Amino acid sequence: MAIVRFDPFRELASMQDRINRIFGEAYRRGDDDITLRTDWVPAVDIYENDKHEIIIKAEMPGLRKDDIDVSVENNTLTLRGQRERESSVKEEQYHRVERAYGVFSRSFSLPQTIDAANVQAEYKDGVLTLTLPKREEAKPRQVQVQIQG
């Protein structure tokens, strides 16, 4: 009798393949393209740096800076834009389309401590970096304690 080693990851991969086939067939039944039905939103990382600024990094590969709109209104930061499929490639020439295209909009509630007038944006290598400084009164302060005696 041969010893067969149990590999839980192989089992999970097999199960995922079966599920993908089930859902894939459901999408193939319709004549419309799945990318026309899918919403695309850029993935983001949000963190605070050593200067007590909130940093938002959004992945937006394939976009030009003119395709991106950033607005701050009523303590809400909104990212909007559109990624279009290449017009030089005809629909029937595609073998597979996995990237999502279309209009996106993503909003984030900002804390009251953000100085909305001084928000900065930089777009480089497909990543939009937003720097949201805190108002001076919201930044932590060091207070000297005087000892008498």
Q: List per-residue pLDDT tens for the chain, 149 residues long.
A: 566 666 666 777 777 777 877 776 555 444 444 434 446 789 999 999 998 899 999 999 989 989 899 999 988 999 999 988 888 888 888 888 888 888 999 999 998 889 988 999 999 999 999 999 988 776 667 777 888 86
**For the residues of 48-69, what is the DSSP string, one character each?**
E-TTS-EEEEEE-TT--GGGEE
pLDDT value at position 32?
Answer: 46
Q: What are phi and psi of 88, to 5 degrees?
A: -75, -15
φ, ψ of residue 138 in degrees (nearest 5): -90, -15
Residue 123 is predicted with a pLDDT of 95
pLDDT score at 130: 97
Note the pLDDT of residue 31: 43
Tell me the fold of 38-138. Answer: Immunoglobulin-like (2.60.40)
Domain ranges within the chain, ordered by starting residue = 7-32, 38-138
16 vs 14: CA distance, rounded Å: 5
Gap between the terminal Cα atoms of the chain: 87
3-state secondary structure of 43: coil
pLDDT at 1: 58
Residue 95, burial from CB neighbour count under 10 angstroms (0-12, 13-18, 19+): exposed
pTM over 0.75: no
- What is the per-residue burial (b if ≥16 Cβ within 10 Å, else e) of 21-48? eeeeeeeeeeeeeeeeeeebebeeeeee
pLDDT of residue 86: 80
For residue 60, the tally of other CB atoms under 10 A from its CB is: 22
